[in-house]
Amino acid sequence: MTRPLIGLTTYAQDTRFGTVDVPAAVLPLTYVRAVHATGGRAVLITTDDPGEDVLAGLDGIVFTGGSDVGPAYYGAEPHPLTVSVPERDEAEMLLMRAALANPHLPVLGVCRGMQLLTVASGGRLHQHVPDVVGHTGHMPGDDEDGYHGVRLAPGSRAHAILGPEAPVNSYHHQAVQDPGRLVASGWADDGLIEAVEDPDAGFVLGVQWHPERTDDLRPFAALVEAARGRAVVTRARMAA
């Protein structure tokens, strides 16, 4: 069976090798394992020398979690607690816009990735969730996930993947305020948007939680399945 190539965005960070710190492309291995466990083959995408040409070799792409999306991208002033990485924003916004312009490329956004997807689609973000919902349950601290339920909209892709309700984990202090051209398809009990999608695209889905850190990899499995169809067609054209 064809294993589709799934791109995973990474971020740059100084990392110790031996006795020295050097710049490195960094990504939790849980993302890679999630792609491999669901039948894909992971390909890491770095932030240096960004270019949309990388998408030509992929069957699907995951925009991963991490730093805040720069508020200038949606016309807002930064909150005191907003921490963005301009190099990563620039590289991934270019990739996201190119990916969304390709109706046949499956896209999954995880946490920051969902927020990036939203901003690229004309939406806006809440820059600090506790200011909106009045609690820190979505970001409990000490790198512990906040666990809660989400309800999924009937007829949505999220509902087809997860059913009417699902327990999820989360660790984020920003969230979707306005989904722009996307459709909100999942909500936490406090009303915070937890899933967005494009019903007019082949596969474009964003989830606010971190399925790669759980045993429920269904969002990754759905992406890989959508990418497998693209991979089969691509490989057949290459062989012809």
| Cα gap 73→119, rounded to integer Å | 7
Q: Which of 92, 111, 138, 197 is catalytic?
A: 111
Which three-class secondary structure state does DSSP give residue 212?
helix
The structure tokens 């699907």 sit at 60
φ, ψ of residue 154 in degrees (nearest 5): -55, 140
The structure tokens 């492309």 sit at 25
| Cα gap 35→7, rounded to integer Å | 9
For residue 212, indicate whether it is catalytic: yes
Q: How many CB atoms lie within 10 A of CB 62?
A: 26
Q: Which of 126, 159, 173, 210 is catalytic?
A: 210
| Cα gap 10→127, rounded to integer Å | 22
**In terms of Cα–Cα distance, which of 51, 52, 175 is closest to 116?**
175
Q: Which of 135, 138, 212, 225 is catalytic?
A: 212
For residue 210, indicate whether it is catalytic: yes
Give percent helix, percent strand, percent coil of the chain, each to the nearest 5: 35, 30, 40
Helix (H) or strand (E) holding 232: helix 218-239
Q: Residue 73 carries which DSSP code?
A: G
The structure tokens 């971190």 sit at 210
| Cα gap 176→208, rounded to integer Å | 9
Token output for 106: 């499956």
For residue 92, indicate whether it is catalytic: no
The set of catalytic residues is: 111, 210, 212
